[in-house]
Chain A
Amino acid sequence: MSAALKPEPTTKGAVPFLVVPKDGAAPYLAGSKCGKCGEVVAGTRLTCGKCGARAGMAHVKLGSTGTLYNFTVVYRNFPGVPVPFISAIVDVDGGGTLKGNLLGVEPDPAKIRFDLPVNIVIRPVPQKDKDGNSYLAYFFEPRA
């Protein structure tokens, strides 16, 4: 009867700070904002990594736009990972920095420019885990 105890497959974030609200509200990227120095980082923290204050780390939604700080084009990876792809570092407007895939730009170093304005979009991905759960991930796209 163990099969009956198996939870129903659900949709999750590919990383813990991609929050999928249970009430059906729009998924978002979660950050923490220090109550003392105001520093914003992606994810949750017990206290502030910058100032160490215990003033409290407020749960905030990260912005949905940013600029390309840095990138690399990845040509060789583990078996099963499609290449080439652009691994990008994006400074999020309003605070925080993310690493993710930059889409909508040819994966050619000569065609990628620093400081490209991007949108941060959240989308379903084809991958499922062994329990059949579906996942959402975030991506960067050039902002028109």
Chain B
Amino acid sequence: MSNDVYVVGTDMIKFGRFPERSVPELGAQAALMALDDCGLTIQDCQAVYSGNLFEASGGVGQRILREIGQTGVPVVNVANACATGATAFREGWMAIKAGVYDIVLCVGSEQMGSGLLGGGGGSKGIPTEGLLGSGTMPSVFAHVGLEHTRQYGTTFEQFAKVSVKNHHHSTLNPKAMYQKETPLEEVMGAEMISYPNTKLMCSVNVDGSAAAVLCSEKKAKELGLMGRAVKVRASALTSDPYTPRNIAMMDFNAVTRLAAKTAYEMAGLGPDEVDLIELHDCFATAELVHYENLGLCKDGEAGQLIDTGATSLGGRIPVNVSGGLLSKGHPLGATGIANIYEITTHLRGEAGNRQVDGARIGLTHVVGAGSACAVHILEKA
């Protein structure tokens, strides 16, 4: 018997703003939905991996169990920037891979509030935001985009097209925060936050949760769960390797390239064999650079790739069919598992109007400031 690991149950709540609810309540809801998806209960789970960033010190995983059943199992609370949910998922995967458990529950949850993320200084001395450049996330990812412009001449319009595409995709996803078309002129004409990212090119701050039940092959067969099971072909996690500018300008490219390379090698396949991708479009500028980081096109061709529509639903390699972080929303700790949910749903052929026809292999990618990157490759069993 192999020690392959399968996603047997997964779900996410509709992303939105739920100020009256608590993070554990949100996480508990997704956990119960994922358990229901495979007909298991919390009594079946031997460990829980909980991803949450903003309440990382608060034992969110244990508080989720207070909502759904305190079975006494080990709980691991994970925080790893925007890779938080994916890291929780990976920890669960590793535990089964190692043969320690047969069934684990992975949950990601986050309550975001509103406003800009990031910014410099403040804890000691004087705030440096606006004095020594900008550390806000729209600015950090504006730098990422303009570096691509510097190298390849990528235009404001090409970046904006990412947002048009992902907002269009979200009209097909009832669990996305927004279901609203945003024509190119509307995206480009929206309030400029940090050039070239307008307001409609920034991900949506939402509350949300997603969960996945992972199972060993042996147990999945015993329980008769292989019919809708999705195999984890690869799980890669990286931190940013040294690059000369990364202290002043966070490098989301090198960390992603390393994760992608590791994942493709582990899966024994290349980007040409991937049928759909959920990647980290925290800002429109980010999606374009990740086309190249994930090997969807050659270096310098990302602008052309969005122009040709290859990454739209129906194109050669659909990207962020869920609506992505730009329109589905980005609850940091939940995002990584929500991506797993989206890919799993397509591989099962259950994605409804946004189904990528004949999808067999899908890839998820998240990268967080700091930097941390996680890439997972999934395959229908």
Contact = CB atoms under 8 A, between A and B. Distances in A.
Nearest to A134: B126
A76 B138 contact: yes
Given A74-B136, A87-B143, A42 B126 contact: no
A72 interface: yes
Given A15-B132, A89-B143, A129-B125, A75 B192 contact: yes
Contacts of B142: 72, 74, 87
Place the interface of chain B in its size category.
Answer: 20 to 34
A101 B130 contact: yes
A83 B130 CA distance: 8
A2 B199 CA distance: 49
Interface in B230-253: 242, 244-245, 247-249
Given A109-B195, A129-B125, A138-B132, A72 B247 contact: no
A100 B132 contact: yes
Given A14-B128, A70-B146, A73-B194, A89 B245 contact: yes
A116 B191 CA distance: 27
Contacts of B109: none
Interface string B161-205: 000000000000000000000000000000111111001000000
Nearest to B136: A77
A54 interface: no
Given A50-B242, A70-B249, A89-B143, A15 B133 contact: no
Contacts of A14: 121, 125-126, 128, 131-132
A72 B245 contact: no
A28 interface: no
A89 B249 contact: yes
B21 interface: no
A30 B32 CA distance: 54
Given A12-B125, A72-B146, A77-B130, A89 B242 contact: no
B129 A72 contact: no
Chain B CB count within 10 A is highest, among A42, A72, A76, A97, for A72
Interface string A71-95: 1111111100111010111010000
B48 to A, nearest CB: 35
Contacts of A101: 130-133
A77 B150 contact: no
Interface residues of A, number: 42
A109 to B, nearest CB: 5
Nearest to B126: A127
Interface in B81-123: 116, 119, 121
A57 interface: no
A135 to B, nearest CB: 5
A12 B130 CA distance: 18
B139 A72 contact: yes
B147 interface: yes
A41 interface: yes
Contact of A76 (B116, B146, B244): B116
B126 A129 contact: yes
B114 to A, nearest CB: 13
B158 interface: no
Nearest to A73: B195
Contact of B129 (A77, A89, A138): A77
A132 to B, nearest CB: 12
A72 B143 contact: yes
Interface string B241-279: 010110111000000000000000000000000000000
A91 B245 contact: yes
A75 B194 contact: yes
B46 interface: no
Contacts of B129: 77-78, 81
Contacts of A43: 247
A133 B193 CA distance: 32
Contacts of A75: 191-195
A129 B123 CA distance: 11
20 contacts: A12-B125, A14-B132, A15-B121, A69-B147, A69-B249, A70-B150, A70-B249, A73-B194, A76-B191, A76-B199, A78-B116, A82-B130, A87-B142, A89-B249, A99-B249, A109-B196, A128-B126, A129-B126, A137-B128, A137-B132
